[in-house]
C-alpha cells in the first residue's frame, strides 16, 4: 500500500517513511475525503484571525459602519478645535442676551419669549451652527460635540470595565468551578435579577448625591466616572455568563487535558489554552457592549441619574431638549440622531464582526467532529 | 483480574496498577446537590506494564478504557487504588509533584480534532512541553520541534500552520509529536486510530511501531477493536464494565480466549476470509 495516500488531498507533501501495515484495505477513501474537506475550501489557509479578516473585508456594510463610527469619534475628539476656532465658545457658556449679526441682520440668540435661535449653518461663520439649546443660549453644536465625547467615553470605557470584570470572573468561575463558581455566579445572579435600568437609576441617584468614596478612590458626584462605573458593573453578568458557559464547554475538550498531561499550570491553561479561544467572543461582546452602554447612558442621563448638568452628554441633551419638544423639536432630534447613528454603526459592525469571527468555524468544527464520532465504530 | 506483569522482561514493571477505582458521582437535588448514585467507570482494575512492551487494552465503547488511562495518568483523580511508576506511588500526588513525571508518561488522544487547540500553531502545540518543563526555548526549541515534525511524517514548514489546515491523519501525527516531545518512557495511546479512515489507520499504527523501536517506548494501546491491537500488542487486557475480565499473551488471548466477553469481541472482528469468519462465529457461538 503506498504510504502517499494521505498526500493526495493536501498541498504539502508528507514524507511518510513508514511501510504501511498490510491490512488488505482500500486506500482511496481517505484521499477522497481529504480532497473534499481541504481542497473544497482551500481559502481556509492561514490562521483563524486571517480568515476572519478576509471575511470581514468582504462585508462592505460592516466596513462602512466602522467608517461612520470612526468619523463620529474623530468629530467628537475635535470638539475643542470647533469650539475655540469656529464657534468661539465653550459647551457651558451661556449667550442669553447676546445678538448675532448675520448678513447685516441682527438676530437674538434667545428671543424674549424664550425661544432659542435655530440652526445658522455657516451664516454666522459657524457660530450657532445648529442653533442654541434653549433659554440659556448655549451653542448646540459645541454641546453636541462635547456631549459626544462624554457619551463615547462612557460607552467605550464602561465596555472595557465590563470586559475586564467579565473575563476575570468568567475564567475564575468557569475554570475552577466548585465554591468559587457558586460564589461568583450568585453575585452575578443578584445583579442579573434587577432590570438594568432600574439598577442603574438606583445606583446613579445614590452616587449622584454624595459621590463615591471607596478607600483611596474619591469621585465627585459630577464625575463622569460614576456613570461609567455603574454601567460597567451593571452589564457584567450579561457578558460573564456566556463566557463562563463557553469555558465550561472548552474545559471538557481534550486539548485542555493534553495541556494538563504536559504539566501546564492553571495560569498557563487559562491564558494560553482558554483565552485565545474566547477572544472572538470577547471582541464581539465588547463591540456590541459599546452600543448598549451608550443607550443606557442616554437613558440614565435622561432620567437624571447619569451625567450631571452642566456637563453635556447626548442623554442630558435629549432630556433638556425635551422641555421644548413642541416649539423646538430639533433640540431633541439632533442628539437623538447622533445616538442613533453611533449605536447603529456599532451594532452593524459588531454583527459583521460576529459573522466574520465566529459561527462558521464552529459549525465546521462540530461537523467534522461528528464525522469522527461516526467513524468510532467502523464496520 | 490477575496480575500478569511478572512474565516477561527482567527488572520490575515500569507501571504497576493495583485495584484502581474511578467512580463518577451522579448528583441531583434542588439547591444543594446530593450524590445519588455512581457511574462505576473503572471498578478495581489491576495490571502492570513492562519496559519496552505494548499492552493492548481492549473493550467496547463505554467499558472504561479512557477513564482508566486518565486515572493512571492522574488526569482524573482516582477514587482509590494504587498506581506505581518505576516503583514510585503517583496516585494522590499534587499537580506540582506530578510535573516532572509528566515528562515520562504521555498520552495520545482519540479525537484528533478535539485534542488540538484550534487557536495554537502546530509549533506551539508540539513545543509547549519543552517550554513548560523548561527544557528548551527560542531557536533550540524551534529546531527540536521541526525535527519532531519531520520524524512523525510532517514537514518543518508546518511549524506555523494551524490545526484546521490538516487532515485527521496529519492531526494525529501532530498529537504524536506532542506526546513524544520529551522522549517519554510510557505512552498511553487512547484509540489513536479509531477516528481515522482505515487506510490512514495502518500508517499511524506503523509510525507508532517505528517510534517504539527507535525511542524504546512502552505503550498501553487502547482499542475497541481487538483486531487492531492484536498484531502490535505483546499482551492484551480485555475490559468490560470497568473491570479487566481477561489478560494474557496476545496470541493466547486471541486464539484461545477464556472469557465469554473476549469471544464476543473476537467474533465482531471483520475477517477478510469468509471461511475463517464462519469458523470463528461457530466457535464463539458454541462456547459463548
Ligand atoms: N466525566 C465523566 N462523568 C461521568 N461519567 C463519565 C465521565 N467520563 C466517562 N464517564 C462514563 O464512564 C464510562 C466509561 O467511559 P470511557 O472511559 O470513556 O469508556 P471507553 O473509553 O472505554 O469508551 C461511560 O459509561 C461514561 O459514560
Ligand atoms: Mg474512550
Encode pLDDT of B144-153 as tens digits: 999 999 999 9
Do both B100 and B168 map to the same domain? Answer: no
Query: Which atom of ligand 1 approaches the CA of B76 most closely?
Result: 1
Helix segments in B221-259, DSSP class H = 226-230, 250-255
| Structural domain includes residue A94 | no
Do both B90 and B118 map to the same domain? Answer: no
Residue B139 has pLDDT above 80, yes or no: yes
Q: CATH number of the domain that A169 lies in?
A: 1.10.3720.10
Do both B79 and B213 map to the same domain? Answer: yes
Nearest residue to A355 (alpha-carbon basis) of A249, A274, A285, A284? A284
Q: Of the candidates B166, B183, B200, which is a domain's last residue?
A: B183
| Structural domain includes residue A89 | no
| Structural domain includes residue A194 | yes
Helix (H, G, I), strand (E, B) or coil at B28: strand
B71 CA to centre of ligand 1 in angstroms = 11
Q: Relative to the alpha carbon of B111, which ligand is closest?
A: 2
Residue B228 has pLDDT above 80, yes or no: yes
Residue A10 has pLDDT above 50, yes or no: no
Q: Is the CB of B64 under 6 A from ligand 1?
A: yes
ipTM field: 0.88
| Structural domain includes residue A19 | no
Encode pLDDT of A304-355 as tens digits: 899 988 889 999 999 999 888 898 999 999 999 999 999 999 999 999 998 8
Do both B90 and B11 map to the same domain? Answer: yes
Do both B190 and B227 map to the same domain? Answer: yes
Structural domain including B165 reads: 114-183
Do both B134 and B231 map to the same domain? Answer: no
Do both B100 and B162 map to the same domain? Answer: no
Q: CATH number of the domain that B218 lies in?
A: 3.40.50.300
Judged by CB atoms closer than 8 Å, whether chains meet at B117 and A277 is answered as yes
B46 band by pLDDT with thresholds 50, 70 and 90: very high
Judged by CB atoms closer than 8 Å, whether chains meet at A257 and B70 is answered as yes
Do both B147 and B165 map to the same domain? Answer: yes
Across all residues in chain B, what is the average pLDDT?
90
Domains in chain B: how many in total?
A: 2
Chain B residues with CB under 8 Å of A29 CB are 197-199
| Structural domain includes residue B92 | yes
Do both B199 and B226 map to the same domain? Answer: yes
Structural domain including A337 reads: 60-78+141-360
| Structural domain includes residue B176 | yes
Encode pLDDT of B15-26 as tens digits: 999 999 999 998
Chain B residues with CB under 8 Å of A40 CB are none
Judged by CB atoms closer than 8 Å, whether chains meet at B132 and A37 is answered as no
Query: Which atom of ligand 1 approaches the CA of B24 most closely?
Result: 4
Q: Of the candidates B168, B183, B198, which is a domain's last residue?
A: B183
pLDDT of res. A86: 92
Encode pLDDT of A47-74 as tens digits: 788 888 998 999 999 999 999 999 999 9
Task: Read off the DSSP letter of residue A44.
Answer: G
B15-28 and B218-223 beta bridge pairing: unpaired
Residue A25 has pLDDT above 80, yes or no: no
Residue B256 has pLDDT above 50, yes or no: yes
Q: Grid coordinates 492522574 are at which residue?
A: B74
Q: Is the CB of B63 under 6 A from ligand 1?
A: yes
Helix (H) or strand (E) holding A219: strand A217-219
Domains in chain A: how many in total?
A: 1
Amino acid at each position: 500500500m503506498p504510504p502517499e495516500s494521505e498526500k493526495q488531498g493536501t498541498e504539502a507533501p508528507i514524507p511518510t517513511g513508514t511501510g504501511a501495515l498490510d491490512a488488505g484495505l482500500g486506500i482511496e477513501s481517505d484521499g477522497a475525503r481529504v480532497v473534499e474537506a481541504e481542497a473544497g475550501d482551500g481559502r481556509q489557509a492561514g490562521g483563524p484571525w486571517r480568515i476572519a479578516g478576509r471575511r470581514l473585508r468582504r462585508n462592505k456594510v460592516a466596513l462602512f459602519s466602522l467608517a461612520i463610527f470612526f468619523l463620529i469619534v474623530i468629530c467628537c475628539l475635535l470638539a475643542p478645535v470647533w469650539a475655540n476656532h469656529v464657534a468661539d465658545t465653550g459647551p457651558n457658556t451661556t449667550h442669553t442676551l447676546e445678538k448675532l449679526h448675520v448678513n447685516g441682520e441682527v438676530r437674538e440668540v434667545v428671543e424674549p419669549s424664550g425661544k432659542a435661535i435655530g440652526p445658522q449653518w455657516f451664516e454666522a461663520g459657524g457660530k450657532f451652527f445648529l442653533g442654541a439649546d434653549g433659554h440659556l443660549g448655549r451653542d448646540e453644536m459645541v454641546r453636541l460635540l462635547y456631549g459626544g465625547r462624554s457619551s463615547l467615553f462612557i460607552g467605550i470605557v464602561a465596555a472595557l470595565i465590563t470586559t475586564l470584570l467579565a473575563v476575570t470572573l468568567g475564567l475564575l468561575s468557569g475554570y475552577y468551578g466548585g465554591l468559587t463558581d457558586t460564589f461568583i455566579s450568585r453575585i452575578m445572579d443578584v445583579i442579573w435579577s434587577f432590570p438594568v435600568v432600574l439598577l442603574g437609576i438606583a445606583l446613579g441617584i445614590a452616587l449622584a448625591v454624595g459621590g463615591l468614596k471607596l478607600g483611596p478612590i474619591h469621585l465627585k458626584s459630577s464625575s463622569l466616572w460614576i456613570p461609567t462605573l455603574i454601567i460597567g458593573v451593571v452589564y457584567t453578568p450579561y457578558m460573564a455568563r456566556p463566557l463562563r458557559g463557553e469555558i465550561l464547554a472548552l474545559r471538557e475538550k481534550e486539548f485542555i487535558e493534553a495541556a494538563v498531561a504536559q504539566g501546564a499550570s492553571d495560569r498557563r491553561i487559562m491564558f494560553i489554552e482558554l483565552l485565545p479561544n474566547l477572544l472572538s467572543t470577547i471582541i464581539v461582546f465588547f463591540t456590541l457592549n459599546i452600543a448598549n452602554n451608550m443607550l443606557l447612558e442616554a437613558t440614565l442621563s435622561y432620567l437624571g441619574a447619569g451625567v450631571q448638568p452642566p456637563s453635556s452628554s447626548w442623554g442630558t441633551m435629549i432630556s433638556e431638549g425635551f422641555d421644548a419638544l413642541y416649539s423646538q423639536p430639533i433640540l431633541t432630534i439632533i442628539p437623538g440622531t447622533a445616538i442613533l447613528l453611533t449605536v447603529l454603526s456599532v451594532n452593524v459592525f459588531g454583527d459583521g464582526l460576529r459573522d466574520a469571527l465566529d459561527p462558521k468555524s464552529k459549525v465546521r468544527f462540530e461537523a467534522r467532529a461528528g464525522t469522527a464520532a461516526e467513524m468510532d465504530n467502523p464496520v | 483480574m490477575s496480575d500478569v506483569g511478572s512474565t516477561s522482561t527482567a527488572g520490575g514493571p515500569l507501571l504497576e496498577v493495583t485495584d484502581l477505582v474511578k467512580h463518577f458521582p451522579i448528583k441531583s437535588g434542588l439547591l444543594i446537590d446530593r450524590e445519588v448514585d455512581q457511574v462505576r467507570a473503572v471498578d478495581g482494575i489491576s495490571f502492570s506494564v513492562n519496559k519496552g512492551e505494548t499492552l493492548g487494552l481492549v473493550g467496547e465503547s463505554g467499558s472504561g478504557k479512557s477513564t482508566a488511562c486518565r486515572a493512571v495518568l492522574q488526569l482524573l483523580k482516582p477514587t482509590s487504588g494504587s498506581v506505581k511508576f518505576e516503583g514510585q506511588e503517583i496516585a494522590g500526588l499534587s499537580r506540582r509533584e506530578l510535573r516532572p513525571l509528566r515528562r515520562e508518561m504521555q498520552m495520545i488522544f482519540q479525537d484528533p480534532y478535539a485534542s488540538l487547540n484550534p487557536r495554537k500553531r502546530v509549533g506551539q502545540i508540539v513545543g509547549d512541553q519543552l517550554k513548560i518543563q523548561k527544557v528548551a526555548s527560542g531557536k533550540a526549541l524551534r529546531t527540536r520541534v521541526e525535527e519532531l515534525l519531520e520524524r512523525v511524517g510532517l514537514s518543518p514548514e508546518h511549524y506555523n500552520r494551524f490545526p484546521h489546515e490538516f487532515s485527521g491523519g496529519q492531526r494525529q501525527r501532530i498529537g504524536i509529536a506532542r506526546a513524544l516531545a520529551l522522549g517519554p518512557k510510557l505512552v498511553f495511546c487512547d484509540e489513536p486510530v479509531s477516528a481515522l479512515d482505515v487506510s490512514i489507520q495502518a500508517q499511524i499504527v506503523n509510525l507508532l511501531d517505528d517510534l517504539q523501536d527507535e525511542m524504546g517506548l512502552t505503550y498501553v494501546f487502547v482499542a475497541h477493536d481487538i483486531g487492531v491491537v492484536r498484531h502490535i500488542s505483546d499482551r492484551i487486557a480485555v475490559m468490560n464494565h470497568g473491570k479487566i475480565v481477561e489478560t494474557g499473551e496476545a496470541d493466547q488471548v486471541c486464539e484461545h480466549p477464556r472469557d465469554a466477553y473476549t469471544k464476543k469481541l473476537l467474533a465482531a472482528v471483520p475477517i477478510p476470509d469468509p471461511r475463517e469468519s464462519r469458523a470463528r462465529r461457530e466457535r464463539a457461538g458454541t462456547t459463548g
